Every structure is written in C-alpha cells, then in structure tokens.
Amino acid sequence: MEKSSPEKLILVTHEAGGIACITINRPHSLNSLTKSMMTDLARIFKSLDADDSVRVIILTGSGRSFCSGIDLTAAEDVFKGDFRDMETDPVFQMERCRKPIIGAVAGFAVTGGFEISLACDILVASKDAKFLDTHARFGIFPSWGLSQKLSRIIGPSRAREVSLTATPINAEQAERWGLVNYVVDRSELLNKARQIAEAIIKNNQDLVLRYKAVINDGFKHDLTRALALEKERAHENLYILEKEITYKLLIFFSVI
C-alpha cells in the first residue's frame, strides 16, 4: 500500500486495481471535523473523481470512531463559512463523485459523520457501529441532507424517531432497516469493503459510472420519471457504443 497524500488528518492511499482509501485520521477527537479537514475532504473527493486510475473509493475512520461530526470547539470557524461554497463542501463533492464510494463505518457516525455516511453508495458497518443524529439536541439545523435522506432509506416514522429523540441506531438495526449493506466484525471491516470494491472493479468501468448515476438520479424522481430516465440513458449508451464500434472498425480496416 502506497501513501499518496501528505495530509495528516485526512489520509489517502492508493491500492492495487484502482482502489483509493480515504481515512479520517483524528482518532483522539473521535475523528471530529475541523473546517480545514472538511475542505481537504472535498478537495480529495474531487481529485479522485478526476483521476482515471481510481475505480472505487473506500472511506473510513481511524481509531474508535468513523466520524463524530463537526468539532464543536471549532464550530464558530465552521459555521461562519459560506455554506453555498460547494467547492469546500465534502458531502456535495461526494454526491457529485462519479466513482462508487464504499463507507466502512466502525464506532460512531454522529450527526455530520452520519450525513457523510449517507453520502456513500454502499455501507459496511462493524458490529459496534452506531449512527446518531444530534441536531435536535444541540439546536443545529442539518445542511448535509440528513433530514431528507434518512427518511427515504428507513422510512419517515423511523427517521422522525431517530432524529427527534437523538436515539442511536445500532449496527443490527441499521442492517435490518436497510441503512447498511453488511455488518461484520471490526477486524473484517476493511476486508469486506475491499471485497465489494474488487467485485465492482471486475465490471465495465464506463457502465459502472453510468449505472451509479442512473440509480442515484432516478431515486430523486417518482417511478414513472425514473423509468423514462433509464430509457433515455439506455439510448445514450447505445449511441456511444455504436460510435466506439464504428471507430474500432475504421481502425481495423485501416491497418489491413
């Protein structure tokens, strides 16, 4: 494994086959996020999205926690920033990232950390994982999508209970409710994430990117519009395939 980023609080490693692993690395503060860490995360996701050698991204945390949200001791610096600046918004950059993102969650994913986990495409959790929304407890309004995404995944009644009572979701509940794909021993967390990444890498890269996009884009619409969107993208893909085949045929006949 080769370290490819000089960051100390956000680490990036590139692994064989096109896997990039991002680690939130502030374990003594349960991986709480400062403003500079949020900016780094946003920049890294944007950079990996543009890197053709990267096929899949794994996001995890070091130590006992995935991410405990915004560092409240640095909250003034975080909240005085421009929330409309999408270039420094890690969740926005995750949502626009074309590459599949696998979240490997151990320990706490709290509030902002919960929202970051919801921006992943696939989630693997350790048996000790807990997802907790404390917005209502601290009087901070969500701005990274938790109020809308959670209800669409686990249902509005469960989401209201989780968010209005600030009650944690344990790993078993998260799997049962469809919030996470797998629950494993902590020692197997990254291995499971890599297994999923390797299965994705075996497939056609271009179609993986298009397939992720149509699933995510279609989820924003009702079924009728989503089905129409699939038809539109299928025709677009067919046109691209026809162009590629024509180009290859021209190359073939030019050399014989």
Give pLDDT, residue 3: 47
Q: Domain 2-201: state its class.
A: alpha beta
Tell me which H or E stretch contains 212: helix 205-218
Q: Which residue has the tokens 């677009």?
A: 236
The model's pTM is: 0.88
d(CA 126, CA 101): 17
Per-residue pLDDT tens for 122-179?
A: 999 999 999 999 999 999 899 999 999 999 999 999 999 999 999 999 999 999 999 9
Cβ-proximal residues to 59 (8 Å cutoff; 6+ apart), any chain: 21, 22, 24, 101, 102, 103, 104, 116, 120
Domain locations in the chain as residue ranges: 2-201, 205-255
Per-residue pLDDT tens for 194-244?
A: 999 999 999 999 999 999 999 999 999 999 999 999 999 988 877 666 566
Instruction: Name the token pair of 109.
Output: 């994913």
Sheet containing 122-126, strands listed edge to edge, beginning at the edge strand earlier in sequence: 2-3, 10-15, 19-24, 56-61, 101-105, 122-126, 182-184
Of 48, 49, 62, nearest to 8 by C-alpha is: 62
d(CA 242, CA 237): 9
